[in-house]
Amino acid sequence: MIKVAVIGAGIIGVCTAHFLRKDGYDVTLYDQNEPGTQASFGNAGLFASHECVTANSPHLWKNLPSMLVSKNGPLVIDWFYVVTHLPWAIRFLRNCTSARAEHIAKSLSSFSSQASLAYEEIFDDVDVSNNIVYKEPIFLYESKELFEQNQYAFNLRKKYDVQFVVINKEDIAKIEPDLEPIYYNGVVFRGESFTNSPLEITQKIFNNFIKNDGHFIKIKIKSIAQKDNSLFLKYEEKEQQFDKIVVAAGAWSNMLARTIGDNFPLDTERGYHIVFENNNNLLTHPVGWAKTGFYMTPMKDGIRVAGTVEIAGLNKPMNKNMLSMIEKTARRILPQLGKVKSEWMGFRPTLPDSLPVIGESQKCKNVYYAFGHQHLGLSLAAITGKVIQSLIEKKNTNINIDALNPYRF
């Protein structure tokens, strides 16, 4: 039996392990943490096929001066960190043109087009009926000006068949009556759903993988090595031989890629969330707020307010200003929010063009990469696992992943 190691037990690694084990491979999943407890744990819970529009917008240039000094917007930048990582920042800005934004939207739209079908395959084997909520997300705009500033994004979504409708203030109040009516209008993304527990989704897929004779070792992988056409994982003072290796270690993936001679422009977006008590069932849908770039999602443990982007690397402590901004804004929108139950920060792996890296290493045959999904890890995890399965089997996939080639940079 062919032995495969999957490094990273977030939602992407777990979905990949699921498909490979189901196909008969002897699969071992590695992570230094418990499955699903890192970036996969802290997201807003949306299966967001509408998110084909990324931060790489040609309009970013106009907003850049205010973003440079903002401490309360959807994007906060530690400029000392950015200056020390200037090549990445330059690459990012080069992707902020109309042509590149269209390319990115087209690529994401194409890749996500079968995301739901891939999840359906998994959910045929894993009962998540108590975790999926079929309520469409609503994205709110505080002013007419802010809404009109987003016309470029709306037009891109229309071009790539994202289904949405604009709703007025009265309609919003009927759907979510506990919201403070400080919004101008909103957008409903049709046909989408969310999970009331991202952690439980990941853990249920993982538990099914273990039940079907998959293996999990909780340990930090130090490096990958190739000797005489054989692959080895090194950890502690040991090494383990495998036929195939998948690197799905999120923000830490490039550290492993470097050990076999690859090097990708991978950085991290620091995302935040706060969970509030939800004693009165205040929300029934995920509600986004355009000005701050977060969603408020009703989950099992309360209302989770999650999102925002901070560019500050892996080592800087949690930014309390970000948490304060999230709490103040959330209470302004939803005044009846209960007490704060918990606060969280995690690391979303991100590349300069906001597209993931999916493909085989050119430096080391039979090593495959699946990382860099930014805030779309949950949305794209199943289709990523399905594509990796096809690549390992050397089968053609009907999804064009040329734009996700690891060596496009």
Domains of the chain, CATH where assigned:
3-404 (3.50.50.60)
The average confidence (pLDDT) of the chain is: 94
> With contact defined as beta carbons under 8 Å apart, do 200 and 131 qualify?
yes
Query: What's the rounded mean pLDDT across residues 154-161?
Result: 93
pLDDT at 311 over 90: no
pLDDT at 105 over 80: yes
Lowest mean pLDDT among 8-12, 150-154, 348-352: 150-154
CA angle 334, 163, 403 (to 5 degrees): 105
Inter-helix orientation angle 98-112/377-392, to 10°: 70
- pTM value is 0.95
pLDDT category of residue 185 using cuts at 50, 70 and 90 = very high
pLDDT tens per residue across span 239-295: 999 999 999 999 999 999 999 999 999 999 999 999 999 878 899 999 999 999 999
pLDDT for position 68: 60
Q: Give percent of the chain above pLDDT 90.
A: 84
pLDDT tens per residue across span 30-74: 999 999 999 999 999 999 977 899 888 888 777 666 666 666 666
Query: C-alpha dihedral over 313, 316, 320, 325, to 10 degrees?
Result: -10
Token couple for 409: 């940079």
Q: Which regions of 248-376 does DSSP assign to beta strands (E)?
A: 267-276, 287-289, 294-299, 302-311, 340-350, 357-360, 367-371
The DSSP code for 10 is S
Enumerate residues 6+ apart whose C-beta is below 8 A from 342.
Answer: 274, 275, 301
Candidates 379, 380, 371, 382; CA nearest to 347 is 371
pLDDT for position 70: 64
